[in-house]
Amino acid sequence: MKILDLLANRRDEAYALHERHLNMQMVRVLRTIGFDVRYTRATGAYLYDAEGHCYLDLLSGWGVFALGRNHPQVVAALQEVLTAQLPHLVQMDVSPLAGLLAEQLLAYTPHLDKAFFCNSGTEAVEAAIKFARYATGRPGILYCSDAFHGLSYGALSLSGDEQFRAGFGPLLPATREIPYNDLEALERALAPGDIAALFLEPIQGHTVLSLSDDYGREAARLCARHGTLLVADEIQTGCGRTGRFCAYEHWGLEPDMVLLAKVLSGGFIPAGAVLVRKPIFDKVFNRMDRAVVHGSTFSKNNLAMAAGLATLEVIRQEGLIEKAATRGNLLLEQLRALVPQFEFLHEVRGRGMMIGLCFGKPQSTARRAAWNVLEKASPGLFCQLITIPLFTEHRILSQVTGRGSHVVKFLPPLIISADDAEWILRATRAVIADAHRIPGAVWDLGRKLAAQAISRH
């Protein structure tokens, strides 16, 4: 079977097939917001549709494509592995590629000694929950308000958003939410001494809020004092996105466990990792009969390990961490300069190539009334007035960070050029300016979306 022939013959049926056999609601969403484009090609930071239009991808597959899409070095590494007829998933063996990837990852986190590989972000979270409970002998896990750690049961139990949880309970017991950046709440939660771990996103994917200056350091100190492990979820922020290999480095932290996924895949082969202190790891894998007490069939597979190794090489060779810091922080500053000009835009958050535009209620009467109409129809709807025209008029793919959220997020590939950054700035300024014109085309769209939202109630 030739996959490309199959694609050529039946590509146009993608929406019909999904409607029939997969998630029909996704088809409805894409059609409603006008994102139902037929992509045929992807390279670097760009997606191309069947008509040859070029789109700048700031969604990056939920933060996967730090190197851009189809990076030739990662492709070459994978092809090499595929054609070499290497032994693979022997299971009763140790994988050299896994050893090499562990060595390289741990060189970025020198205070940690061991790596555990898995197949996704949520699996990394599951492993960290189990390691924390086993190593401490305690049940409790703390997570923060607005946290997102994944959608399998353990990870979902640490993700506050009710939209994801409703109807799926009961979730994991002894998990507790505390407010983000609130030291007193943390201290109170730790006091009984039954907490195995605190899970923290140094920059939250949902809010794009960062740890406050003193919280990270003080939280680490409190955790250490109470025998609680600090787990940094770097699944979205890691591998250079924020201008450091891991975002916790901005605060000088040394978490007991660090979780990576997304970028590690090179954009091809799902991969996740838990980097951990030796005493924790050695407690879990403490006897020969427990050598496989946690794991999964496909973790450490050659393709994933090769993708990880090639990704780290590209990050180093192309100076992508430094690039994320310089280009990303410049773009952030330029976007921040829009805040005083546009009353719907309240704040621009983030670091490096993780950027959140936070919208809120304006001061002036007409705009405030328009905002209220949208909020009443469906909280957070205003953000669609930004992401939809960004896509349909400026060919920039971005996202609202969740239902009810007032944050539009950009996760650009770390490779974007100065021209791409200019494209982002120009388009963002234009769509925000349009949203300030009432009446105007954007508010016609707003009325349409509000009517649809109300009819769904």
**Where do contacts with ligand PLP occur on this chain (CB under 6 A)?**
62, 120-122, 125, 148-150, 201, 205, 233, 235-236, 261
Closer to ligand PLP at the Cβ: 66 or 370? 66
Q: How far is the CB of 402 from ligand PLP (least distance, A)?
A: 11
Q: How far is the CB of 274 from ligand PLP (least distance, A)?
A: 12
3-state secondary structure at position 287: coil
Closer to ligand PLP at the Cβ: 57 or 445? 57
Q: How far is the CB of 349 from ligand PLP (least distance, A)?
A: 15
Q: Could you tell me how many residues make up the chain?
A: 457
Q: How far is the CB of 149 from ligand PLP (least distance, A)?
A: 5
How far is it, in rounded angstroms, from Cα 341 to Cα 357?
14
Closer to ligand PLP at the Cβ: 102 or 271? 271
Closer to ligand PLP at the Cβ: 156 or 321? 156
How far is it, in rounded angstroms, from Cα 20 to Cα 32?
18
The tokens for 284 are 């879990």
Closer to ligand PLP at the Cβ: 120 or 398? 120
Q: Please state the φ and ψ torsions of residue 241, each to the nearest 5 degrees.
A: -55, -40
Q: How far is the CB of 437 from ligand PLP (least distance, A)?
A: 34
Supply the DSSP string of 215-258, one letter for each residue.
HHHHHHHHHHHHTPEEEEE-TTTTTTTTSSSSGGGGGT---SEE
CA-based end-to-end distance of the chain? 47
Q: How far is the CB of 395 from ligand PLP (least distance, A)?
A: 24
Alpha-carbon distance values, 124 to 66, 107, 148, 303, 311 (Å): 19, 19, 13, 18, 19
Closer to ligand PLP at the Cβ: 203 or 332? 203
Q: Look at residues 449, 349, 391 and name the one whose alpha carbon lies nearest to residue 59.
A: 391
Chain position whose Cβ is nearest to ligand PLP: 121
Q: How far is the CB of 64 from ligand PLP (least distance, A)?
A: 9
Q: Please state the φ and ψ torsions of residue 162, each to the nearest 5 degrees.
A: -60, -30
Closer to ligand PLP at the Cβ: 124 or 427? 124
Closer to ligand PLP at the Cβ: 55 or 199? 199
Q: Please state the φ and ψ torsions of residue 54, each to the nearest 5 degrees.
A: -105, 130
Q: How far is the CB of 250 from ligand PLP (least distance, A)?
A: 16
List of residues 6+ apart from 350 with CB closer than 8 A: 203, 208, 210, 242, 328, 332, 356
